[in-house]
Structure 1
Amino acid sequence: MTVESEQDFFSELQIDVLIPAFNEENAVGKVIAAIPSFARNIVVVNNNSNDNTRKVASEAGAIVLDEPQKGYGKACLKGMEYLNDLETAPDIVVFLDADYSDYPEEMHQLIQVLVAGNYDMVIGSRARGNKEKGSMTFPQVFGNWLATWLMRRMFSAEFTDLGPFRAIRWNELKQLEMQDQDYGWTIEMQIKAVKLGLRYTEVPVNYRQRIGVSKVSGTIHGVVGAGYKILWTLWKYR
């Protein structure tokens, strides 16, 4: 695809980016700066940060919402409420983390596959891409393997990752009626997509060490909490 044809391709789509952020003042500005110019709205949900996340995100050009109740899913739901109230709804929503571990410039790959392949959802798979040494802890790698293995056994789902970097059509996202307010958000979306018959696939994405310490894999509380919630979500939607 030439530069001109790529520009025409993306100019026809309303693409909004949603970024939950908790204490990511050192990373969120880099994430925003790396997002391709075809994104219409970059929405950062400041999830009860006690640092300068809000200020940095705003100065970088993002629309910043405040969600005082902590929770990854809670922040995502807040962002979806904002998008739902827009005069012109998005065609596609891209979810990104605020820690700069993903490569936002790879967004075009997810969207091209989604549109050209007539998919409803595309997951950026770290398992299929290149991971920088140390970018994923053992609990992350094992947890992803176990969760995706269980999804195959329980739902015949073909996933290799629960990666947060993903693109989904707005109308289909609303059909999922997302509910989870914390660690179960990504797996809830994938399970519901399978159960509702959405067309999905994965695209290999690169992954690097995040800036700062992970709020999930970087603490025992986070690892245990995330693991429990993922297993509970699997059981809930079995």
Structure 2
Amino acid sequence: MTDIKVIIPAYNEANSIAKVIEEIPAIVSEIIVVNNNSSDDTAINATRAGATVLNETRKGYGYACLRGMDYIAKKSRKPNIIVFIDGDYSDYPEELNKIVKPILEENVDMVIGARTKALREDGSMTPQQIFGNKLATFLMKLFFGSTFTDLGPFRAIKYEKLLELEMEDKTYGWTIEMQLKVLKNKMSYVEIPVHYKKRIGVSKVSGTVKGSIFAGVKILGWIFKYSLK
């Protein structure tokens, strides 16, 4: 039987986290919410909704994801697939079934939920997000011949392949690091178009000038780092 676990990094997502948890399909064996130093009731609401809640006081998307992975690594039974999804309710959790389908049926290593324009709610992605995605995926195509069109956070990957990537980014570069390492390690991947809506609350990255700049620097840094190898 396939064991699927979900990791949700969450910082001040008290108003949305329960909605995300409640709409994740029953095929998932465990939902792990990593409370990333929230100052609201994120942890309480996630616990009430039935998730396993971990605390990571070092703020950063990558720190939260790594904390979730560390928890899983210490379990006696390891999962087959790890799914990452944000806690802001911008994704449609019920689409997890189609995110994992290529892994289950076609033995693909990683699947990215691509936030295609046709399926995006107007205003769900900021202009800087759209520009950043286009630039990053253009550079990945230019340097590595990739077919990625998005850096979408809703993604699934075989657990054994995730370990092989030796993920290290602690903050905004987590998603691009994973995709670059998949390319460098010649792992198989596909994109599946997913619906995307306006998040609940304000984005901690694209919703601020500081966050947008730091994310852009991180993304470009990872791309050029790998292009020089």
Is the shorter-chain TM-score for this pair beyond 0.5, marking a shared fold? yes
List aligned pairs for 1:12-27, cutoff 5 A.
Answer: 12-27=1-16
1:127 Cα shift?
Answer: 2.3
Cross-structure match for 1:107: 96
Aligned residues: 227
Map Cα deviations across residues 14-67 of structure 1 (whole Å, 9 max, x no partner): 000000000000000100000001100100000010111010001100000000
List runs of 5+ in structure 2 lacking aligned partners.
none
**1:197 matched to which residue of 2?**
186
Q: What is the identity, as a one-letter code, of the residue corresponding to 2:183?
A: V
Does residue 159 in structure 1 map to residue 148 in structure 2?
yes
Q: In angstroms, what is the RMSD of aligned CA positions?
A: 0.8
Equivalent residue for 1:9?
none
Q: d(CA) in 1 for partners of 2:185 and 2:70?
A: 22
- Partner of 2:30 in structure 1? 41
Q: 8 Å contact 1:129–1:204 — kept in the other structure?
A: no
The SS at the match of 1:40 is strand
Q: In structure 1, list runs of 5 or more residues that go unmatched.
A: 1-11
2:136: which partner in 1?
147
> Does 2:74 match 1:74?
no
Write the letter of the residue equivalent to 1:232: G
Contact 1:129 / 1:205 at 8 angstroms: preserved in 2? no
Tell me the distance in 1 between the aligned counterparts of 2:31 and 2:117. 27
TM-score computed with the length of structure 1 as normaliser: 0.94
Question: SS of the residue aligned with 2:123?
Answer: coil
**One-letter code of the match for 2:76?**
E
- 84, 91, 110: which one pairs with 1:95? 84
- 8 Å CA contact retained: 1:128, 1:160: no
What SS is found at the alignment partner of 2:28?
coil
Query: Which residue pairs with 1:55 in the alignment?
Result: 44
- For residues 194 and 129 of structure 2, the distance between their equivalents in structure 1, rounded to whole angstroms, comes to 16
Partner of 2:32: helix, strand, or coil?
strand
Compute the displacement of 1:129 (Å): 5.2
TM (normalized to structure 2)?
0.98
CA drift of 1:235 comes to 1.3
